[in-house]
Amino acid sequence: MWPAFYKQFPHSQGLLTFSRVGFSADGTQAFFFYGNRREGLCGVGCYVIMQKQGNSWVLDKEIEMWVS
- Position 32 scores a pLDDT of 98
- Position 7 scores a pLDDT of 93
Q: From CA 62, how far away is CA 33, in angstroms rounded?
A: 9
Q: What pLDDT, in 10s, does the model give residues 16-52?
A: 999 999 999 999 999 999 999 998 888 999 999 999 9
Domain limits, the chain: 13-54
**Amino acid occupying residue 12:** S
How would residue 1 be classed by pLDDT, with cut points 50, 70 and 90? Answer: confident
Q: From CA 22, how far away is CA 16, in angstroms rounded?
A: 19
- Position 40 scores a pLDDT of 85
Q: What DSSP assignment string belongs to 14-47?
A: -EEEE---EE-TTSSEEEEEEEEEETTTEEEEEE
